[in-house]
Amino acid sequence: MIPNKELQLPRSWWMPVACIVVGCAFLFGAMIGPAGPVWWRVPGELLDHLPWINVHSGASKLESTVLWQIRMPRVVLAGIVGAMLSLAGASFQGVFRNPLVDPYLLGVAGGAGLGATVVIVTGRAASSSWPIDPLPLAAFVGGLLAVLVTYTVGTAFGSSKTSSATLVLAGVAVTSLVTAVQTFMLQRNTDVVRQVYSWILGRLSTATWSDVRLVLPYVIISSGVLLWHRRLLDVLRVGDDEAQSLGARVTRIRLTIVIAGTLGTAAVVSVSGLIGFVGIVVPHLVRLLAGSSYRRILPLTVLFGAAFLIIADIPGRILSDPAETPIGVVTAFLGAPFFIVVLRSRQGTSR
């Protein structure tokens, strides 16, 4: 028998609760950090930036700039990245009917990592002759290419019945191949190891408003498409065959979700690096809280994902200031033990 865990709070309450959690995380993230205004001046300072509101927070010009140009883009970007990774993770878990799947599964991470490594190794990252920063571009393109290879390979050999399992396996193969190439390049160029690793482990420390502007269009399109599929993800829960007999076009749905999820993930990864575990931890947390229907899970993962990464970014800023703890390390540190707990509780509830 399965205990009815989800009824601890009435379901309709989870949405406002999630909004409050995001709001608190946002405020908290804006208040904490080296330099900048004292924490109690932050709310006033933020209000002052809203149109038609004038508040004298008493913060100096410099403090205000630190808050608005350094801390805020970082908090906002953390929120966007966390929301996107969690949403893509939940959608992929639904479409592949596998709770261990994350948004990096089909090779986005490996491809983006290789793209970034190539740029850093060839020294293009430092050159200012390019109109745009080549690092995120290479990561973005690398991520998309890797998934394209995975999908082509996975669907070429898999029959329609097994294609979701074949696709997952193809993702594993492509990822290990790409990672091998990347490792080889690193081994040949040990002088850039530190630089590459700081990218791989995730970095929100260099976030600017232009990063936010860069990823926002992709994230909006991608999350829009994914959220619109929340009902169909529920239909897919009964398996490919039955979903098809209920009139769902399974292959097309899977392709659409893979494209949308990959686009969004590749975009955020290109500016934030590879932040791990968010895409698994947050959807499972939401599932434990609010039940298993994707109609409830997907909107909630967006909010809780944003809150999770904003909060996970805080220890990195204050723990080992000034040399920051990479956020990928923090999320894995929080994520791995949590994941074990989730697995244990799942084992306890399955019949």
Partner 1 sequence: MSSLSFIDVSVSYGRSVAVTSFNDIVHPGEWLCLIGPNGAGKSSLLRSAAGLVAYSGSVLVDGSPLNLRSARRRAALVAHVPQSPAMPDDMTAFEYVLLGRNPYVGYFGQETKQDRMMVQRVIERLDLQPFAMRRLGTLSGGERQRLVIARALAQEAPIMLLDEPTTALDIGHQQQALELVDSLRREHGFTVVSAMHDLTLAGLYSDRLALLHQGHCVASGPAQEVLKAETLSEFYGVSVSVHHEEDGTVVVVPRRTVPLA
- Residue pair 222/96 in contact (Cβ under 8 Å)? The answer is no
Give the dihedral sign, CA 17/19/22/23: negative
Residue 223: CB minimum distance to partner 1, A: 14
Residue 292 in contact with partner 1, rule: CB under 8 A: yes
- Smallest gap from residue 241 Cβ to partner 1 (A): 6
Residue showing tokens 């239909």: 235
Counts for the chain of helices (H) and strands (E), in that order? 15, 0
x-or-dash pattern for partner 1, window 6-35, by CB under 8 A? ------------------------------
DSSP for 198-231, please give it: HHHT---TT--HHHHHHHHHHHHHHHHHHHHTHH
| 348 near partner 1, judged by CB under 8 A | no
Smallest distance from the beta carbon of 205 to partner 1, in angstroms?
Answer: 39
Q: Is 248 a binder of partner 1 (CB under 8 A)?
A: yes
Binding of partner 1 by 318 (CB under 8 A): no
Residue in 245, 319, 320, 337 binding partner 1, rule: CB under 8 A: 245
Is 249 a residue that touches partner 1 (CB under 8 A)?
Answer: yes
Q: Which amino acid is at 1?
A: M
- How near is the Cβ of 343 to partner 1 at its closest, in Å? 16
Q: Which residue has the tokens 């306890």?
A: 348
Q: Phi first, then psi: give them for residue 125, nearest 5 degrees.
A: -60, -35
322 binds partner 1 (CB under 8 A): no
Shortest distance in whole angstroms from residue 295 CB to partner 1: 8
Least distance from partner 1 to the Cβ atom of residue 246, Å = 4
| Contact flag: residue 350 with partner 1 (CB under 8 A) | yes
Q: Which one of 43, 44, 291, 315 is in contact with partner 1 (CB under 8 A)?
A: 291
CA dist., res. 339 & res. 303, Å (int): 19
Contact between 39 and partner 1 per CB under 8 A: no
CA atoms within 13 A on the CB side of 144: 13
CB of 253 to partner 1, least distance (A): 9
Residues 6+ apart with CB under 8 A from 262: 88, 106, 108, 143, 144, 147
169 binds partner 1 (CB under 8 A): no
Mind giving me the DSSP string for 226-275? HHHTHHHHHHHTT-HHHHHHTT--HHHHHHHHHHHHHHHHHHHHHHH---
123: left (phi over 0), alpha (psi -120 to 50) or beta: left
How big is the site for partner 1, counted in residues (CB under 8 A)?
26
**232 interacts with partner 1 by CB under 8 A:** yes
With binding defined as CB under 8 A, does residue 2 bind partner 1?
Answer: yes
Quick one: which of 130, 118, 87, 127 has its CA closest to 260?
87
CA distances to 127, 171, 226, 276 from 300, rounded to whole Å, are 41, 27, 13, 19
Exactly one of 239, 319, 320, 343 binds partner 1 (CB under 8 A); that residue is: 239
Q: Is 242 in the site for partner 1 (CB under 8 A)?
A: yes
Least CB distance from residue 227 to partner 1, whole Å?
10
**With CB under 8 A as the contact rule, which of the stretches 15-23, 88-96, 231-239, 265-273 interacts with partner 1?**
231-239
Closest to partner 1 by CB, 223 or 270: 223
Q: Which residues bind partner 1 (CB under 8 A)?
A: 1-2, 4, 228-229, 231-232, 234-235, 237-239, 241-249, 291-293, 350-351
